[in-house]
Amino acid sequence: MNGKGEYVITSGLTNYGILGKTDINARIFDEKTITIDMFGSVFYRQFKYKMVTHARVFSIKPKFEITENQGLFLSNAFHFINKKFSYENMCSWLKIKEEKIQLPVKNGEIDFDFMENFITELKAECIAELEAECIAELEAYLTATGLKDYTLTIEEQQALENFEHVNWQTFNLESLFGKSTRGKRLKSADRISGTLPFVTAGETDEGISAFIGNDVTVFSENTTTIDMFGSAKYRNYRYGADDHIAVVHTENLPKFAAIFATTAIHKSSYTGKFNYGRNFYAKDADELNILLPSQNGQPDYKTMETLISALQKLVIKDIVLSVEQTKKIYDNIE
């Protein structure tokens, strides 16, 4: 991805399956079409795009002109598709081409006006309801967790101001955290219901496919997982993992430093190099090189920790100010 040209679509839910942009010569698919990936995830595309061939995504084009709202209605009509497919049974055009969807009709024809008006009204209602219902709950949560205090410390201010002058150095992942650990396969049919999060590959629910009670290896909180596609995620809880997951043992780092490291890992591992045909394994994690702030030839975890703390406060500040502004609007309406 070079940030130029058309959007590139891949499998998964992250960023609606948009991997990035590229001007590399490849087939360009029409706008106002629908993509379906190997997991049965369905998205309407209002724009022209390219597709990653190895990610098993296909495009379907209506035989009639549609608006964006009508496209959203149509794609939602496929909502049942993702319940049928997984890694063990991947979606394909041959498997779904005989599927039927339900649409509104009028005088024996598809009622496009109903679809248009329904989505328009639904958007307005959802925005109003979400804002009205979530303001008090969000405000209470921020207060209870102490996140409502978004004032930067002097150290955090300096870290942000000095960011352009940070020294960066490349480090090998195994040299920093030891050998990564691979999870073990646990078939869906063999999973016992319980409370332990079980991590598999994918973006849905951050890769948590079930909560199990099986006797499996339990990985520590404050660690990083990398799935078969190279997607890295920070875990702040204990969990089990299947054989499509590599665990990087960042547990001895401070929390914010581990989050920073996870971001650096993701940048190096999630490049499109790994896919269903070529999985990312623990051995690939051991060979991975990541770029981190450094001091005296060693990772500068203190700077990482301070930067993440500052960035969290900046994000919280935007949320708090948005909540306060929205609350004022609703107070005035009332």
What are the pLDDT digits (tens) for 192-211? 999 999 999 988 889 999 99
pLDDT tens digits for 113-148?
Answer: 998 998 888 877 666 666 666 666 777 777 776 777
Sheet (strand 298-299) strand order: 168-172, 289-295, 298-299
Give the containing element (helix H, strand E) for 299: strand 298-299
pLDDT tens digits for 97-110?
Answer: 888 888 899 998 89
Query: How confident is the model at residue 55, as a pLDDT?
Result: 67
What pTM was computed for the model?
0.60
pLDDT tens digits for 210-229?
Answer: 999 999 999 999 999 999 99
Query: How confident is the model at residue 124, as a pLDDT?
Result: 75
Is residue 133 helix, strand or coil? Answer: helix
In the 8-state DSSP scheme, what is residue 46?
Answer: S
Is residue 138 helix, strand or coil? Answer: helix
In the 8-state DSSP scheme, what is residue 50?
Answer: E
Check if the beta carbon of residue 252 is closer than 8 Å to that of residue 218. Answer: no
**Which is it for strands 193-199 and 240-241: parallel, antiparallel or unpaired?**
parallel
Rounded to the nearest angstrom, the gap between the alpha carbon of residue 180 and the centroid of all alpha carbons in its chain is: 22
Q: Which two tokens stand for residue 215?
A: 């006797």
In the 8-state DSSP scheme, what is residue 182?
Answer: E
Check if the beta carbon of residue 257 is closer than 8 Å to that of residue 301. Answer: yes
Query: How confident is the model at residue 333, as a pLDDT?
Result: 43
Nearest partner of 213 among 234, 235, 236, 190, judged by Cα: 190
Query: How confident is the model at residue 132, as a pLDDT?
Result: 64
pLDDT tens digits for 291-320?
Answer: 999 999 999 999 999 999 999 888 888 777
State what percent of residues in the chain have pLDDT above 70: 91
pLDDT tens digits for 264-275?
Answer: 999 999 988 888
Query: How many other β-carbons are positioned within 10 Å of the β-carbon of residue 187?
Result: 8
Query: How confident is the model at residue 334, as a pLDDT?
Result: 46
Instruction: For residues 255-262, give the mean pLDDT.
Output: 96
| Mean pLDDT over each residue of the chain, to the nearest integer | 87
**Residues 127, 128, 134, CA angle at the centre, nearest 5°?**
90
Partners of residue 316 on adjacent β-strands: none
Query: How confident is the model at residue 126, as a pLDDT?
Result: 67
Q: Which two tokens stand for residue 240?
A: 């089990």
Burial of 300 (0-12, 13-18, 19+ CB in 10 A): buried
Q: Can you list the domains of the chain with their CATH numbers?
A: 6-100 (no CATH), 103-152+313-334 (no CATH), 167-299 (3.90.220.20)
pLDDT tens digits for 240-255?
Answer: 999 999 999 999 999 9
Q: Rounded distance, CA 61 to CA 65, Å?
A: 10
